[in-house]
Amino acid sequence: MTLHTRAKGNDRAHEVVRLPAFEQVRDDPVLYAHASRVLHLESNPGNARALVQRHGQRDVWINPPPWPLRTPELDRVFELPYQRVPHPHYGDARIPAYEMIRFSVNIMRGCFGGCTFCSITEHEGRIIQNRSEQSILREIENIRDHTPGFTGVISDLGGPTANMWRLHCKDPAIESRCRRLSCVYPGICSNLNTDQMPLVRLYRKARALPGVKRVLIASGLRYDIAVETPEYVRELVTHHVGGYLKIAPEHTEAGPLSKMMKPGIGSYDRFKALFDRYSRQAGKEQYLIPYFIAAHPGTSDEDMLALALWLKQNGFRADQVQAFLPSPMALATAMWHSGRNPLKKVMRNSEPVLSAKGRRQRRLHKAFLRYHDPDNWPLLREALQRMGRTDLIGNGKRHLVPRYQPAGTGGRPEGTRTPDRRSGAGTRFRTQHTRGSRKPQRTQRRRK
Ligand code: SF4
């Protein structure tokens, strides 16, 4: 096993950062936001310092993150003799999680996106750890030859982000010193190598393997990076999309997007233009299905209204939608809890970040995403009146919500119902594109 050394002259290797004590962080949301910011800033193994926090009478020592595994090391981990079947203890039980991964291949670890509602970067690191092409192809052959039920379709060739394989900072010395929370926000860093042609070549080799009929890409992809290599988008669209491709702009408005560390909706438009062009050239009728989060910290009612209007204009009817839930370690959780923005230095008087926390406002934000559901119309009409937007209530195409209320509807607004299973029990993906004629296929599993 290779021992990595830190960059020469890196005194940080001998420094320690003391966080506010646990009791202070527990009782003071601003200190919690500050501690969260410090933790995330100390996440690059090239320059991270150890963290120390007082808990009662004891100190807790948090080591800096480990160096990422190099390709031969990662290959060795992935090529251990896994059985690729559920433990015999499960018998004949149907395990949905197993169905999802049964014929899928993980090609990498890590993510440099830094989306604030996600903690993959904290779990797997910001520096991408890549498997070798040979190792990936060997796993596909292994699935083909040994996994029961294989019909020739690899359901995913991906990872935390489908298209970050082999992407990296151009200069190891710069990477080692870098303190940025994301390589792609507020824009793609000029030091980032975004060439996705190695991935294109991998896809081609995977498709060419005997006994492999189809290779799908089901992991979420970063469309802002994808457009940097149009040939990658062409390859994806021509050979690896099952009719519908789920992607996750997460919002359309600058306020929430800036709190998520996500690119502007202009990136989505650029990707869509390429997606449509290459789908046409391939003679395929394919659709993009964008995903959004309601009630993310920094999202106002007006932001959700603007998003609802965008959905209507673009012909989307989201069936299953998600509202933000704070999760451990995420920077968005610190925003939600503290009302401060840990993407900047946290001060007591720093910019407030408002979050929809009350049940009613969270319901409203979800209802905007499902503006087409009659059960949500009373809530939306009331909100539009309060917001001075009665011009959007009416029965015309330019209106968001009709004046009439169908009999038997309106009594159970968003957030008060259990998921409707009538139109396909267990179907995970049911967003409709009103310009499409076919039913969505279950091809993608993770959003980006
Ligand atoms: S310099 Fe740019 S590309 Fe390199 S690690 Fe930092 S943000 Fe990423």
Q: Does 189 contact ligand 1 (Cβ within 6 A)?
A: yes
Q: How far apart are CA 151 and CA 348, in angstroms?
A: 59
Q: Output the residue whose Cα is nearest ligand 1's atom 6.
A: 178
- pLDDT for the residue numbered 425: 34
What is the predicted pLDDT for the residue at 179? 95
Ramachandran sector of residue 218 (left: φ over 0; alpha: ψ -120 to 50; beta: rest): alpha
Q: Residue 427: what pLDDT? A: 33
Q: Is 387 in the pocket of ligand 1 (CB under 6 A)?
A: no
7, 8, 102, 120, 171 from 177: Cα distances, Å: 8, 11, 39, 21, 10
Count of CA atoms in the C-beta half-sphere (13 A) of 376: 24
**Contact criterion met (CB below 8 Å) for 182 and 113:** yes
DSSP letter (8 states) at residue 64: P
221: part of which helix (H) or strand (E)? Answer: none
Q: C-alpha angle 114/184/303, rounded to 5°?
A: 75
- Tens of pLDDT, residues 60-94: 999 999 999 999 999 999 999 999 899 999 998 99
For ligand 1, whether the C-beta of 181 sits within 6 Å is no
CA nearest to 40, candidates 108, 126, 109: 126
CB 200 within 8 A of CB 163: no
Distance CA 386, CA 445 (A): 38
Note the residue count of the chain. 448
pLDDT of residue 323: 93
User: Rounded to 5 degrees, what angle do the CA atoms 260, 436, 419 make?
Assistant: 60
Q: Which atom of ligand 1 is nearest to the CA of 189?
A: 2
Atom of ligand 1 nearest to the CA of 44: 5
Residue 180 in contact with ligand 1 by CB distance below 6 A: yes
Scanning 321-445, the segments in alpha helix (DSSP H) are 331-338, 359-369, 377-386
Is residue 199 predicted with pLDDT exceeding 60? yes
Q: What spacing in Å lies between the alpha carbon of 173 and ligand 1's midpoint?
A: 10
Residue 321's region, left for phi above 0, alpha for psi from -120 to 50, else beta, is beta
Beta carbons within 8 Å of 42's beta carbon, 6+ residues apart? 17, 48, 49, 51, 64
Which residues share a beta bridge with 401?
Answer: 393
pTM for this model (two decimals): 0.87
Q: How confident is the model at residue 418 (pLDDT cuts 50, 70, 90)?
A: low
Give, using CA atoms, the residue closest to atom 7 of ligand 1.
183
Reported as a single tens digit per residue, the pLDDT across 371-404 is: 999 999 999 999 999 999 999 999 999 999 999 9
* 428 vs 445: CA distance, rounded Å: 9
Ligand 1 pocket check for 191: Cβ under 6 Å: yes
**Residue ranges of domains in the chain:** 1-67, 69-240
Q: Which atom of ligand 1 lies closest to the CA of 168?
A: 3
How far does residue 275's CA lie from ligand 1's centre (Å)? 28
Please say if the pLDDT value at position 294 is more than 70: yes
Average pLDDT over residues 305-322: 91
The ligand 1 atom at the shortest distance from the C-alpha of residue 175 is: 5
More confident residue, 415 or 251: 251
Return the CATH architecture of domain 69-240: 2-Layer Sandwich (3.30)
